Amino acid sequence: MSKESRIDEQIQHFYDNVPNVGDALPLKEYLLKHEDSRMAWYLLGKEYEGKGDTAKATYCFAQAGEIYEAFESKPAPQLPEAKPKKKSGWKKWTLALLLPLLLIGGAAIAVNELMPDREDPAAEVPPEGSASATPSASASASPKPTPSSKPAPLPSNVIPPDQIAGAPGPNGPGEGVLGGLLTQKPSRQPRLLIAAPQLGKWNDWVKSGKPVATVASDRETGTAGVQWFDPKWCDCKPADANSNEVKLAARLVESWKPMQEEKLALRSAMVRYKEMTGSWPSSPGAMAADYPSNVMSGWSENMTPWFDELKAALEDKTDGKIPRTVGWPERNGPDTGHGTPSGTLSPLANQPLEIIVDKSNHRLAIVSGDVILRNYAVGLGGSKTPEGEFVITEKVKDPNGGKGAYGSRGMTLSDGRYGIHGTDEPNSIGKDESLGCVRMKKEDIEELYDLVPMGTPVTIAKGGLPSELRAPQQRFKLPSTQNETNPRKVYDWLG
């Protein structure tokens, strides 16, 4: 059967199952050009839906299949059984859409047609429970992780994104971020754009997360489409704030963010371990060990498959080249953790954690590149607090029994007498009353202690950090898996 004959049958099937087809569109010409484009069917369905032609929209959405499911977060309608052919001929239509084009806020924009026609690596992701998703034999001596709080799984029909991109707004850098999502190689997975406001020169991690749009692409035709959630970004009517699509996107981001912090803590620890020892860690137990080898301060259940994935990549001698640094774990773990940070949040997947102390503002920040993850108030010692570059060379829980001037956590800077620790004088936070050390509130020092590994660089200077504090309501905490106390030593940091 010729292609045109197949099209004639498909058109007849459309007329048999869709009533009141009194409008005029050159449907046959459209199908001859785009019969395999699920994105084209989806956009045609949205055009009918906007006109109130529910039956026609439903038929088109059924043809769109997984593209409809990616945008609408629900199963695509099922096509009805074909009815006997009618003798009457089909009517000619006029096409109101320009396809394959990308509709953005009512404007049609051509999509790059030079995208590589390759299989999407995401299609080869091994399922959870496969060999690559289980702990390696080398982890047999590893700490037993305490199960971390598991987010509610995504509905079975929802495909997790392969990227979650941050953008500060619809203009400037935001335009570039959206353009990047639209022109990248098509993927079977959608991509999510979220708001990531700026805090001075920094990209604000704590305040990021409001869903802006979902971008889905069609690998068969190289087309892409946008479903908007934020009216500030488009000259259009976006999805209602109370719609299932918006609620699902917000729920996904809420679960995704804490897991990215776990990934970042793990990746940073592996990088710092390599810097300190000259080799990559062989098992989780090599990093989450007892004092004084406690590079990490615990281990979560999610981290084991991520570690195995990263370790396998580091050992892969593809083309005779071993990776020089750690990548970003994306193939394993809960679906709600999938989605590599990109856009203005891309440093998270590339830059390990560092600490900055601002003597002018009495602030201590945890940063990854130009992304600021936390910004705490601290107590300092004025001119007694040294400026310069330091490294965390020791981490200890409950120094001097945890009941003295240093509180429940302490970290030594460059093997000296200066440290970052808790305090029994909380009123000194924000003031210059120490003898040179960095004092922190209990909840802040305990979160910092769990997030940053041994070997983390610390920069102390005047200026550079915003005055606005940043810490989430739900603090980062690693399940404790080892003994990090050191009762044999009396600590005498400079208070």
CB atoms within 10 A of CB 81: 8
d(C-alpha 229, C-alpha 213), whole Å: 5
Tokens of 90: 């089909």
Residues 6+ apart with CB under 8 A from 431: 362, 379, 380
Is the separation of the CB atoms in 417 and 235 below 8 Å? no
Can you list the alpha helix ranges (DSSP code H) found in 144-278?
Answer: 173-183, 244-277
Catalytic one among 34, 338, 362, 421? 421
Judge whether 236 counts as a catalytic residue.
Answer: no
Tokens of 119: 């299989």
Burial grade of 105 (CB within 10 A; 0-12, 13-18, 19 or more): middle
Is the separation of the CB atoms in 371 and 345 below 8 Å? yes
d(C-alpha 21, C-alpha 170), whole Å: 39
Judge whether 421 counts as a catalytic residue.
Answer: yes
Tokens of 40: 């084209």
CB atoms within 10 A of CB 82: 12
Catalytic one among 34, 234, 338, 437? 437
| Cα-based torsion angle of the residue sequence 397, 399, 403, 406 in order, rounded to the nearest 10 degrees | -100
CA distance readout (Å), 398 to 137, 235, 285, 402, 495: 33, 56, 22, 4, 15
The DSSP symbol for 87 reads S
If you write DSSP's letter for every residue of 284-342 in order, what string do you get?
Answer: HHHHB-STTSBSSS--BTTHHHHHHHHHHHHH--GGG---SS-----SSS-GGG--EEE
Among all chains, which residue has been given the structure tokens 């305490």? Answer: 146
Determine the distance from the C-alpha atom of residue 82 to the mean position of all C-alpha atoms in its chain, rounded to a whole number.
43
- Residues, the chain: 495
CB atoms within 10 A of CB 196: 27
Intra-chain end-to-end CA distance of the chain, in Å = 86
Cα–Cα nearest to 59, from 8, 21, 116 = 21
Catalytic residues: 421, 437
